[in-house]
Amino acid sequence: MNRLSLDLMELMGTSLGLKDEKYYRKFFEDGCAIFRCNYYPPCKQPDRALGTGPHRDPTALTILHQDGVSGLEVFTQGIWRTVRPYPGSFVINLGDLFVPMSEGKYNSCLHRAVLNKDTVRKSLVFFIFSRKDKLIVPPEELVSGDSRNYPEFTWSDYQKFVVSKYRLLLLPKRRWSRS
């Protein structure tokens, strides 16, 4: 999973047209990762509960493997849309940490997990992020002019922010209906 995440980071450098296409690969090579297993039991009233509430991943990149049960939804164009599981595939999601690293050229994805009335849902999730003390900055060639769009910070500082205030800032002012 770590090798796949670094390969994806190299593709991100390519997609942004960086002279050093391996910029992000090199940046995250000494980083950290978390592997998590999610278990969502059946819920008799799934419209009254969420498996995981609306959020954006604070990490740089998320690689998700879903079982065959639907439950992942993304918020796009003002509505929640189901990401249907496809056998043998991964869902790749950029997290908030990558936004300042791309100087805002890429954005993170608001998503949630909904419950199923009759079926257990399981997923495997792999998150990558930088070393705690590493400064989060974009490649200089993505910065136009003398100032960046985002301040410098470390993953450690960002974790403290996420725990204290972050979730409250992300909720859009729209209804959370399951459309």
- Residue 121 bears catalytic tag: yes
Q: What is the pLDDT of residue 110?
A: 94
Q: Among residues 25, 84, 121, 175, which one is catalytic?
A: 121
Q: Phi/psi at 6 (nearest 5 deg)?
A: -70, -35
Note the pLDDT tens digit of each residue in 99-121.
999 999 999 999 999 998 999 99
Q: What is the pLDDT of residue 166?
A: 55
This prediction has a pTM of 0.86
Nearest to 60 by CA among 5, 116, 112, 115: 5
- Percent helix, percent strand, percent coil in the chain, to nearest 5: 25, 30, 45
The domain spans of the chain are 32-169
Q: Quick one: average pLDDT of 43-60?
A: 88
Q: What is the pLDDT of residue 176?
A: 40
Identify which has the larger pLDDT, 173 or 1: 1
Note the pLDDT tens digit of each residue in 10-45.
999 999 999 999 999 999 999 999 999 999 999 998
CATH number, span 32-169: 2.60.120.330
Q: What is the pLDDT of residue 50?
A: 78
- Sign (positive/negative) of CA torsion 72, 74, 79, 85? negative
